[in-house]
């Protein structure tokens, strides 16, 4: 089904029958990716005495599960600046539009001491002169291992503050990346890339020019069949009143 979307005074044609899902699901299996030193998610039937909310166990006509998970550590999630501020901000209130122009770029993080980092120069080179509303960063190498990786204590690659600042100054509102965080795993709580992207100068007293309507999405997976280039992004979150929510970013080739 071909649809025409009018956006920013432009008409884009996309094929709604060919969505490109770049999200990672949440499951209670060993294949679930994990970050931040937590255990795998729990998905278990509700139990009331002898009654079990599971059709296959015979006592229930429905499957009726409780789910325990952490959006930041268990799969693709989208977060707002409430992730780092003293005052409460909800992703469900901050994200009010869901279709954006987007650019997929692939970047090989560079060695810097014991770390691997994504630099401003790499982002500048990959974007050329484009100014999309959203950027999706695929790090190289792009192994399928990312879909089930246990990231805790691996010192994953991260964005330098200069790169996050450039993305903000470029006017990009939504940053998506295939890592557990845009920042270094052990960074003494500095969160330099988060703060630079959201333009948060003081987490205790939010400045007026902080970017309340901008989001960061982490732990996506952009498989190799998806080429670098321009897309329409549909960024959907579950309606949690929380700083972050599981999300399902979908790309449509223009």
The token pair at 228 is: 């670098």
Query: Can you give the residue range of the structural domain that contains 117?
Result: 2-30+73-253
The verdict on residue 207 lying in a domain is yes
H helices present in the chain, as ranges:
91-94, 120-127, 161-169, 192-198
Provide the CATH number for the domain around residue 8: 3.50.30.50
Q: What percent of the chain has pLDDT over 70?
A: 100
The verdict on residue 185 lying in a domain is yes
DSSP 39-90: ---EEEE-EETTEES-GGGTS-SS--EEEE--TTTSS-EEE-GGGT-SS---
Residue 70: name the closest of 93, 38, 31 by CA. 38
Q: How many CA atoms lie within 13 A of 177 on its CB side?
A: 26
The verdict on residue 176 lying in a domain is yes
The verdict on residue 51 lying in a domain is no
How many structural domains compose the chain?
A: 1
Span 183-210, pLDDT tens digits = 999 999 999 999 999 999 999 999 999 9
Q: In whole angstroms, how far apart are CA 211 and each of 60, 157, 177, 201? A: 48, 24, 18, 11
- Predicted local confidence at residue 7, as pLDDT: 80
172 in Cβ contact with 132 (< 8 Å): yes
81 in Cβ contact with 200 (< 8 Å): yes
Q: What percent of the chain has pLDDT over 90?
A: 95
- Predicted local confidence at residue 167, as pLDDT: 98
Question: Chain-wide mean pLDDT for the chain?
Answer: 97
Q: What is the CA radius of gyration of the chain?
A: 19
- Predicted local confidence at residue 231, as pLDDT: 98
| DSSP label at residue 247 | E
- Predicted local confidence at residue 5, as pLDDT: 84
- Predicted local confidence at residue 6, as pLDDT: 83
The verdict on residue 56 lying in a domain is no
The verdict on residue 46 lying in a domain is no
Span 150-177, pLDDT tens digits = 999 999 999 999 999 999 999 999 999 9
The verdict on residue 44 lying in a domain is no
The verdict on residue 237 lying in a domain is yes
pTM here?
Answer: 0.97
């Amino acid at each position: 089904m071909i649809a025409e979307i009018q956006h920013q005074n432009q008409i884009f044609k996309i094929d709604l029958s060919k969505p490109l899902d770049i999200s990672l699901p949440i499951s209670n299996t060993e294949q679930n990716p994990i970050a931040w030193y937590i255990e795998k998610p729990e998905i278990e039937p509700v139990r009331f005495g002898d009654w079990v909310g599971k059709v296959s166990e015979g006592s229930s006509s429905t499957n009726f599960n409780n789910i325990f998970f952490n959006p930041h550590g268990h799969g693709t999630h989208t977060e707002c600046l409430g992730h780092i501020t003293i005052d409460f901000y909800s992703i469900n209130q901050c994200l009010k539009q869901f279709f954006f122009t987007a650019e997929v770029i692939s970047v090989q993080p560079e060695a810097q001491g014991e770390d691997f980092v994504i630099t401003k120069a790499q982002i500048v080179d990959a974007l050329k002169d484009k100014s999309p509303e959203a950027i999706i960063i695929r790090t190289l190498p792009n192994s399928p291992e990312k879909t089930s990786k246990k990231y805790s204590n691996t010192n994953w690659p991260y964005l330098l503050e200069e790169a996050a600042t450039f993305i903000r100054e470029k006017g990009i509102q939504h940053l998506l990346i295939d890592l557990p965080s845009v920042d270094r795993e052990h960074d003494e709580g500095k969160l330099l890339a988060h703060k630079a992207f959201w333009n948060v100068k003081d987490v205790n007293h939010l400045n007026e020019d902080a970017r309340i309507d901008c989001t960061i999405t982490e732990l996506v997976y952009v498989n190799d069949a998806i080429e670098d280039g321009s897309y329409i992004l549909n960024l959907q979150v579950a309606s949690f009143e929380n700083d972050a929510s599981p999300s399902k970013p979908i790309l449509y080739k223009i």
